[in-house]
Amino acid sequence: MMKKLLYGCLALSLTAVLGTGSPATATVPYGSLSGGIPGGVGPGLALPSSVPGKEYSHDVDQETLAPGGIADPEQVIAWDGSGGVDDGIDYTGTRPLYTLDDDVDAIANRRDHLFKQLIANDDSVDMAHLIFSHDDMISLYPPTAPPGSGVLPMPFLVPSGTPPGVTLVTGKVIGGAGELSYEKAFAFSPPSDQGLWAKQPDINAMPLPRDVDGVEVWGPEPAFTADADKYSLNVDFMSGTSVWSYPTGTPYISQATIAATVKTLLGPFPPTAVLPYPDFIDGEDAINLDALMVQDIIVGSDADDSFDRDPAGGIGDRIIFSIRQIVDPMDPTGYYATGSELFVLDATTGPAGAKFLAHGGHLWDKAYALSDLALPPTLVGGNAVIDINAIEAISQDVVPEPTSAILLLVAGVGFVLSGRRCG
């Protein structure tokens, strides 16, 4: 009870500091942007202003109607990459069996482009670039109460923008919590080649985003048309569902399945572990999905709304996901999950066959997060690790939408295509 009261008081204090959003200002209208598909793979990064169909979720969810930055649960924002925005999907009222108006904390399309190219398999290396964001609130173990001491860590606010950005213990500087960073594909770059992809003013010029907690790209233009048709809500155990389908409003993947997947790779859930934000939650209810990519490839009458195995035993529907940071003050590392582990789940093999994402010349596992995604103790005055909360994939460039089948054929030569309806 004392721990719950402690975190409750800290949450109230932080709410007073952060408020529910950025100061109210007039938003910049969404500008015109050509449609397109991922182009050639290579070491370059397509510019945010050239990648079509971009949507993001903010923590807390916001609407863009003037004056902008007003809290609006379950509202997704379309962004053009040059600071202009518009209201996208609003999931409110679309779920028949769970009607609570909650915040969205992960979005994806059922057939995310470049999903397969993002994963390094046994016989190939990853060829698509990962883009990601991270939470603005993480846990910090001060020198007086280091990991393993049994004392709960304290909240730490991560910068939202660049400068200053976020300096990692490796010396790399990535974007803030209101921005999008990248890790280049290992096929073209050295291991863990990371940096800033989209600045705050690129994503939303007014008001600047404080915490981007979901991202979806490669949709149709204009991006405020419905594309993010898979999503997660703020606290999964309340509904028992970690991923929902839109527009049916039906469960896609249960919280129990996500919990089983996490335990397969991180081990049994310890009794001393806890999810401190947005509220004190212990036990396996603390396992909460907050970043998502989807590859729904099994066809059928309702296949897009169900997570299906391949009847022949091959690759089934798959997701890449992350969960919120879960601290464990009795663990020598300070964490059950840093929140920056990226898991790959295949419906055919189920949780028992889950793997960590292999990308950028390394596994996105707990050991990597602790070694490469920690913050320098000399800068933050303790031990802390960032918490990934949004993921997507991009290519080197963009192929404009062809105007005919002939142009599509010509454009396809020399390019890697991973269409939403091609698996």
Residue 240, domain extent: 2-412
**Coil, helix or strand at residue 34:** coil
Query: Do residues 218 and 53 make contact, with C-beta atoms less than 8 angstroms apart?
Result: yes
**Coil, helix or strand at residue 196:** strand
Residue 187 maps to a domain: yes
Query: Do residues 88 and 228 make contact, with C-beta atoms less than 8 angstroms apart?
Result: yes
Residue 197 maps to a domain: yes
Mean pLDDT comparison of 3-17, 107-121, 402-416, highest-scoring range: 107-121
pLDDT band at 317 (very low <50, low <70, confident <90, very high): very high
| Segment 57-75, tens digit of pLDDT | 999 999 998 677 899 999 9
Average pLDDT over residues 380-386: 97
Number of domains, the chain? 1
pLDDT computed for residue 118 by the predictor: 97
Say if residue 268's pLDDT is above 80: yes
Per the listing, tokens 């930055």 go with 69
As given in the structure block, the two tokens for residue 413 are 């030569």
pLDDT computed for residue 332 by the predictor: 98
Residue from 240, 234, 271 nearest 254 by CA: 240
Residue 34 maps to a domain: yes
User: How far is 236 from 374, CA to CA, in rounded Å?
Assistant: 26
As given in the structure block, the two tokens for residue 292 are 């998502």
Residue 169 maps to a domain: yes
pLDDT computed for residue 5 by the predictor: 32
**What kind and span of H or E run contains 380?**
helix 377-380
Residue 419 maps to a domain: no
- Residue 192 CB neighbour total at 10 angstroms: 19
Entry pTM: 0.90
| Segment 156-209, tens digit of pLDDT | 999 999 999 999 999 999 999 999 999 999 999 999 999 999 999 999 999 999
pLDDT computed for residue 68 by the predictor: 75
**What kind and span of H or E run contains 371?**
helix 366-372
Looking at the DSSP bridge assignments, the partners of residue 85 are 29, 79
Of 132 and 277, the one with more pLDDT: 132
Give 225's contacts (C-beta < 8 A, 6+ positions apart): 219
Residue from 132, 185, 116, 124 nearest 420 by CA: 116
**What kind and span of H or E run contains 242?**
strand 241-245
Residue 417 maps to a domain: no
Say if residue 421's pLDDT is above 70: no
User: How far is 309 from 51, CA to CA, in rounded Å?
Assistant: 31
pLDDT computed for residue 304 by the predictor: 79
Residue 421 maps to a domain: no
| Segment 320-360, tens digit of pLDDT | 999 999 999 999 999 999 999 999 999 999 999 999 999 99
**What kind and span of H or E run contains 76?**
strand 75-79
Average pLDDT over residues 239-257: 97
Pairing of strands 358-359, 362-363: antiparallel
Of 25 and 85, the one with more pLDDT: 85
pLDDT computed for residue 66 by the predictor: 67
**What kind and span of H or E run contains 131?**
strand 129-134
pLDDT computed for residue 301 by the predictor: 60
Residue 226 maps to a domain: yes
